[in-house]
């Protein structure tokens, strides 16, 4: 009987705390500056509720700060969980002109701790899987890049009305994000067989030769199987970070299924080594 009373008391306490926390503060960000948030404990997870906001932090090495960027759009929210389980929640809004670029967040701003608030073990496990899932982060960041329309240079090649281009190459954490576009300016649909990225090395010596090493993407975002006539498709390849010497370059190879409209797009080492 005493045990039952104790559990009920704890549940009521957690529920009361969840219901009585103060109104959420608002943090403003834009797409030209990094807004830094410094927390009292290392960041374990950080999630935004909308694609037009991106919160980045070091997932490999524990750090106390994260960076927030935004593009024009509706307001959203930011949820951050520290190493010790403290939860921080904020409203985030886009603002063209920023008056504050650094936020030093005290422990008193925490809305609670994940362990006492989440009482159901199944709910807790689902919550942990969602915010720990690296694929979820890739999905959010790729969507942000597709909406951003940032370009790194003119990397483009065409064949019989099919235009393959790399719009942007972005470095984030330990990965390179390739924003790719395929335009079908022909009168026939284009069925995609494969799109591979390889590193090509020029062998030195009397008999010069080329050697290619295929690079397996970690994640592919919105990769199509077909590009209809007069349509344009944009998508993202995520690969482990790499750099290239002067005698190497990246090759993006587009291959048509049951067709001959194939393209090999060469990407200079300078673009790979100097991403956005």
The structural domains of the chain, with segments of one domain joined by +, span 17-132, 150-273
Does domain 150-273 match CATH 3.10.105.10?
A: no
**In 76-120, where does DSSP find H-type helix?**
114-117
Q: Which residue has the higher pLDDT, 60 or 139?
A: 139
Structure tokens belonging to residue 87: 């939860």
Give the DSSP per-residue string, 122-165. Answer: HHHHHHHHHHH-HHHHHHHHHHHHHHH-------EEEETTEEEE
Structure tokens belonging to residue 159: 């064949």
Distance from C-alpha of 149 to C-alpha of 66, rounded to nearest angstrom: 23
Q: Name the DSSP class of 205.
A: S
Q: How confident is the model at residue 80 (pLDDT cuts 50, 70, 90)?
A: very high
pLDDT of residue 122: 56
Q: How confident is the model at residue 228 (pLDDT cuts 50, 70, 90)?
A: very high
Please give the average per-residue pLDDT across 89-100, as a whole number.
92
- For domain 17-132, give its CATH number from 1.20.120, 2.40.30, 2.60.40, 2.60.220: 2.60.40
Which are the contacts of 100, defined by CB distance < 8 A and separation ≥ 6?
A: 28, 35
Distance from C-alpha of 57 to C-alpha of 7, rounded to nearest angstrom: 36
Report whether pLDDT(144) > 80: yes
Q: How confident is the model at residue 103 (pLDDT cuts 50, 70, 90)?
A: very high
**In the chain, where does DSSP find H-type helix?**
2-20, 114-117, 121-132, 134-148, 269-273
């Amino acid at each position: 009987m005493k045990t039952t009373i104790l559990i009920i008391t704890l549940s009521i306490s957690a529920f009361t705390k969840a219901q009585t926390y103060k109104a959420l503060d608002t943090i403003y960000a834009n797409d030209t500056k990094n807004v830094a948030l410094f927390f009292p404990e290392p960041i374990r997870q950080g999630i935004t509720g909308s694609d037009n906001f991106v919160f980045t932090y070091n997932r490999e090495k524990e750090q106390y700060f994260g960076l927030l960027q935004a593009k024009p759009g509706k307001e959203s929210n930011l949820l951050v969980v520290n190493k010790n389980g403290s939860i921080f929640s904020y409203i985030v809004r886009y603002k063209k002109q920023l008056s504050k670029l650094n936020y030093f967040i005290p422990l008193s701003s925490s809305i609670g701790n994940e362990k006492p608030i989440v009482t159901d073990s199944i709910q807790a496990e689902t919550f942990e899987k969602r915010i720990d899932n690296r694929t979820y982060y890739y999905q959010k960041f790729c969507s942000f890049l597709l909406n951003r329309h940032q370009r790194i240079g003119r990397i483009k090649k065409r064949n019989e009305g099919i235009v393959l281009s790399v719009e942007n190459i972005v470095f984030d954490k330990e990965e390179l994000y390739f924003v790719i576009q395929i335009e079908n300016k022909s009168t026939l649909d284009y069925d995609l067989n494969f799109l591979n990225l390889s590193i090509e090395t020029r062998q030195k010596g009397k008999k010069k030769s080329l050697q290619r090493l295929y690079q397996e993407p970690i994640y592919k975002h919105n990769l199509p199987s077909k590009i209809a006539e007069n349509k344009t498709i944009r998508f993202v390849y995520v690969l482990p970070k790499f750099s290239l010497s002067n005698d190497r370059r990246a090759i993006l190879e587009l291959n048509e299924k049951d067709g001959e409209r194939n393209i090999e797009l060469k990407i200079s080492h300078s673009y790979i080594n100097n991403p956005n």
